[in-house]
Amino acid sequence: MSTLSATSTLSETAAENTQASPNSATEPTANQSTRTNSHVEAPTAEEGAIAEGTPSSEPITLDIEQIHQLLPHRYPFALVDRIIEYVPGEKAVGIKNVTFNEPHFQGHFPDRPLMPGVLIVEAMDKKGGIVMNQMQEEGDDRLFVFGGIDKVRFRRPVVPGDQLVMTVELMWVKRKRIGKMQGKATVDGKLVCQGELMFSLVD
């Protein structure tokens, strides 16, 4: 089970320039928008993120160094190389480049390497962590962990050389302690995995 850091957030500029979606609710049945608290300096436009004065239609992106400021996971459980789209309080889209030198391929399987399904779900979890962590108050260093995994289905195998593109979207959040997200992973535009991920805040 992975843990998600709640110690870092994006900047005021990125949060103000990005409009939260009505799908980001404080109750499962509510229809409210959520704004994130922002305390970490946002990357510049040259680094691929929104800078001050940039239109809000431009997506927020995060490189690996910025991801490491937001998540505690490291090799071999980082499972994310870049966030290519981030909408505060709503969704995150990230990529994972699958390579043969990853340790699980030594035994899964030696003659036909396949990425384990549990690691595909774990990789989707990292994008959900980006969204959930940014909803924490400043100074709150508690961790989000998996609270449940529902309706997960695997559609196609994932092999070395593939690039996983994973999208997670917030379905609802309750008292900023429990949240549920819809996740999907694709390779070359074809669905390989989908499911609902539950997150729970632990003290």
Q: Which two tokens stand for residue 25?
A: 């609710």
In this structure, how many other beta carbons lie within 10 angstroms of the beta carbon of residue 133? Answer: 23
108 is catalytic: yes
- State the Cα–Cα distance between residues 88 and 20, nearest whole angstrom: 6
Catalytic residue among 39, 68, 104, 108: 108
- Known catalytic residues are 108
